Structure 1
Amino acid sequence: MLRLFKTAIALLLVPVMTTGCWDIKHVQDINYVAAIGVDYANGTYDVYVQLLDFSSVAKMESSKPTAPVPAWVGKGSGDNPIHALDDLYQSSQLRIFYGQVNAVVLSERLLKEGIEDYEELLRRNFEIRYTPWVFGTSLPIDQLFSISAFFNLSPLVTLLHQPRESYKQNSVIAPISMREFYASYREPCKTTQLPSLTINDQYWMRDKKEHAVLQINDMYVLQRQTFKGWIDKDRIDGLRWVDPRTSRAPLVIQSKNNAQVGIALESPKVKINVNTSSDAVSFEVDVKLEGQILDNNISIPEHEIEQEAIERVRSEIVQTYKEGLKSKSDLLQLEHTLYRKKNREWKMLQERNGVVLKPDSLADVRVDVKLNNSGKIKN
Structure 2
Amino acid sequence: MTRKNVLLYVCMLITAPLIAGCWDIMEPQRMYYINAIGIDYEDNQYKVYLQIINFADVAKSEQPSTGAMPSEIGSAEGRTIEEAIYKLYRSVDQEIFWGHLRFLLLSERVMEHEHSLSVIDTFIRVRETRYQIWVYCTKDPIKDVLLVTPILQSSLTSSKLSNPIGTTEQESFIEPKSLRNLVIGLNEPSHEVSIPYVSLTSSWENVDEPVQETTFAGVGILSKDGFKGFIQNTAARGNQWMFDKTSRGEITFKLHEQQRDYLTVDLDKLKVKVKPIVRSNESVTFNIDLHVQATLNGFKESVNSDEIRAHIQETVKKEIIETYEEGLKLDVDIYRFSEYLYRANLKTWKTLEKDGKIPLTKDSIGKITIHVTKINPGRKTYEETIEK
Fold conserved (TM > 0.5)? yes
User: Corresponding residue for 1:184?
Assistant: 185
CA 1:38–1:300 in 2, change beyond 3 Å: closer, same or farther?
Answer: same
Residue 268 of structure 1 is matched in structure 2 by: 270
Aligned to 2:201: 200
Larger displacement relative to structure 2 (143-152 or 115-124): 115-124
Q: Distance in 2 between matches of 1:265 and 1:75?
A: 43
Match of 1:318 among 297, 318, 321: 321
Q: Which deviates more, 248-257 or 323-332? A: 248-257
Cα 1:93–1:12 shift into 2, 3 Å: same
After superposing the two structures, state which structure 1 stretch, 187-196 or 240-249, moved more.
187-196
Deviation sequence 1:285-325 (CA, Å, 0-9, x none): 11111121112211111221111111111111111111111
Using the TM superposition, give the Cα deviation of residue 358 of structure 1 relative to its aligned residue in structure 2, in angstroms: 0.8
Q: Name the amino acid aligned to 1:184.
A: G
Looking at structure 2, the residues matched to 164 and 346 of structure 1 have their Cα atoms a distance apart, in angstroms, of 34
Tell whether 2:334 aligns with 1:300: no
Distance, in Å, in 1 between the alignment partners of 2:354 and 2:130 is: 38
Contact 1:185/1:225 (CA < 8 Å) preserved in 2? Answer: no
**Residue 146 of structure 1 corresponds to which residue in structure 2?**
147
| 2:90 equivalent in structure 1 | 90
Quote the residue 2:42 is aligned against.
41
Query: Does the CA-based 8 Å contact 1:158-1:214 persist in structure 2?
Result: no
Determine the structure 1 residue equivalent to 2:130. 129
Tell me how far apart the structure 1 counterparts of residues 81 and 199 of structure 2 sit (CA, whole Å).
Answer: 23
SS at match of 2:157: coil
Displacement after TM superposition at 1:377 (Å): 4.2
Residue 357 (structure 2) pairs with residue 358 (structure 1): no
Distance 1:253 1:198 in 2: 26
Partner of 2:292: 289
| Native 8 Å contact 1:69 1:153 kept in 2 | no
Letter in 2 for 1:117: S
Pairing of 1:207-222 with structure 2 (within 5 A): 207-222=207-222
Q: What is the SS of the residue equivalent to 2:33?
A: strand
Which range is displaced more, 369-378 or 307-316? 369-378
Q: Distance in 2 between matches of 1:182 and 1:242?
A: 20
Once the two structures are superposed, the pairs formed by residues 340-351 of structure 1 within 5 Å of their partners are: 340-350=343-353
Alpha-carbon spacing, 1:29–1:198, altered in 2? closer, same or farther (3 Å): same
Q: Distance in 2 between matches of 1:225 and 1:269?
A: 32
- Tell me the SS of whatever aligns to 1:169: coil
The alignment covers a number of residue pairs equal to 377
Unaligned regions of 5+ residues in structure 1, if any?
A: none
Whole-Å separation in 1 of the counterparts to 2:284 and 2:362 = 12
For 1:26 and 1:166, how far apart are their aligned partners in 2? 34
TM-score (normalizing by structure 1):
0.91
Q: Which stretch of structure 1 is more off in the superposition, 362-371 or 244-253?
A: 362-371
**Structure 1: how far apart are the matches of 2:64 and 2:100?**
23
Q: TM-score, length-normalised on structure 2?
A: 0.89
Structure 1 residue 372 and structure 2 residue 375: aligned? yes
Unaligned stretches of 5+ residues in structure 2? 383-388
Question: How much does 1:161 deviate?
Answer: 0.8
Residue 215 of structure 1 deviates from its aligned partner by: 1.0
Q: How many Å separate the matches in 2 of 1:43 and 1:13?
A: 60
> How far does the alpha carbon of each residue in 1:197-236 deviate from its partner, in whole angstroms, 9 at most, with x for none?
12111x1111141011111112101234431101112112
Partner of 1:159: 160
Deviations 1:182-205 (A, max 9, x none): 11122121431101112111x111
Aligned-partner Cα distance in 1 for 2:11–2:317: 78
